[in-house]
Amino acid sequence: MKTDHYNLQTDRRKFLRGFTFTLGGTLLGMPLLSHSMGQHGGGLAYEEGSLQTGAQQQKKMGIALVGLGQYSTNELAPALQETQHCYLAGIVTGTPSKAEAWKKKYNIPDKNIYSYETFDQIANNKDIDIVYVVLPNAMHAEYTIRAAKAKKHVICEKPMATTVEDAQRMLDACRENGVQLAIGYRLHFEPFHQRVMELGQKQVYGKVKQIEARNSSDMTDGSLDVWRLNKKLAGGGSLMDLGIYCVQGAIYTMGKPPVAVTARYGEVTKPNYFHSVEQSISWQMEFEDGVKAECNTSYADDENVLSAKAEKGWWRLSPAYAYEGKKGETHEGKMDLPNIYEQVRQMDGQAQSFMKNQPSIVPGEMGLRDMRVLMAIYESADAGGKRVEIRYDG
């Protein structure tokens, strides 16, 4: 694919251990209002020094990756070689050749390797504390619920599910089994987006007046046989995969969820690719104080922007959502912030919240909230642009 969002990244920027980012008196390791319904205090603390091994590793939480596709292979597994509070303890895969290759590469013991059929036996494995669900969207609910019943904490990739009902079932299962559920929203742990949260929510340049969010990646130069183009597996097209970043970006700029949306599907110019899911969709998110976010996402274009105008200034991130190479500026000049190994920061932060039995800054409740927004966008587009108000209570 053409953009960083899908590129296989082999030469990764190493995580800056022991480094915190202070800007404007705010520790950027301490996300602001990430949750739609409240603010969780407490920063993310990182120890200095080299990667812990041997006996020290027992202090880390063991993660089992469920699904060994591109994201697990090229992002999460390498990141887990850099983390300080969690480590790669196990894998779940339906492909024996992958299991053997990962076993050798990461020295994973046989007892920590599962198939989808034997997955439930993970309940008896004390090495594994967290199950990270990295499967096609339609499979998120099943494996999150099974992990919860196995009494394991869960990190689930975005989007949380393909329906609001499934998202609620996932959240209920985790609550009933006394485990925590977090969503793989890596950008809440990333300096550029934490700066956006600060600028918008603390009204550094006055009240936000307008937001623009665009995230697109061209999928029309590759195979037709990918799960993201299959509505049964993906739940939708570019909105579910890329547009979720725009929804998130607008919400954490404001520190609150939208009250209504208006949406329209874009023209289908590549029908051989987009007969099952949407090629593109544009939507407007309305917030209770009259602020509007103009958003767009497409699987046949390349855009990567999150920007806002406020009463006394503006800011812009571009690229905004890629794994690396983020750039930001305000009307005062360049954002002098580092690009970090985001998945390292994300998983370390999530592991710490699980260890301390504290709510994650990206909890299952946030994933459910976002599913309500995504479904409202589809409802509006299906109705030809009808304004749809969003309820978050039932």
Give pLDDT tens digits for 279-298: 999 999 999 999 999 999 99
Residue 172 is predicted with a pLDDT of 98
Provide mean pLDDT across the span 12-21: 32
Catalytic residue numbers, as ranges = 158, 245
Burial label for 20, CB within 10 Å (0-12, 13-18, 19+), is: middle
Q: Which tens digit of pLDDT belongs to each residue from 316-365?
A: 999 999 999 999 999 999 999 999 999 999 999 999 999 999 999 999 99
Q: How confident is the model at residue 59 (pLDDT cuts 50, 70, 90)?
A: confident
Please enumerate in sequence order all residues whose Cβ is within 8 A of that of 37, keeping only pairs 6 or more positions apart, or say none: 365, 369, 392
User: What is the structure's pLDDT at 394?
Assistant: 65
Instruction: Say what the pLDDT of residue 54 is.
Output: 46
pLDDT score recorded for residue 253: 98
Q: What is the pLDDT of residues 167-186, one digit of tens each?
A: 999 999 999 999 999 999 99
Structure tokens at 307: 């920007």
Residue 8: how many other CB atoms lie within 10 Å? 9
Q: Could you give the strand order of the β-sheet that contains 130-133, starting from the edge strand earlier in sequence?
A: 113-114, 86-92, 61-66, 130-133, 153-156, 181-183
- What pLDDT is recorded for position 123? 98
Question: Residue 34: pLDDT above 90?
Answer: no
Q: What is the pLDDT of residue 385?
A: 98
Q: pTM of the predicted model, to two decimals?
A: 0.88
Give me 340's structure tokens.
């970090």
Q: Name residues whose C-beta falls within 8 Å of residue 31's C-beta, 6 or more positions apart in sequence.
A: 188, 189, 194, 197, 361
| 120-175: pLDDT as tens digits | 999 999 999 999 999 999 999 999 999 999 999 999 999 999 999 999 999 999 99
Indicate the range of 51-55, 209-213, 384-388 predicted with least confidence.
51-55
With cut-offs at 50, 70 and 90, classify the pLDDT of residue 48: very low
> Rounded to an integer, what distance in angstroms lies between the CA atom of residue 29 and that of residue 21?
7
Banded pLDDT at 33 (limits 50, 70, 90) = low
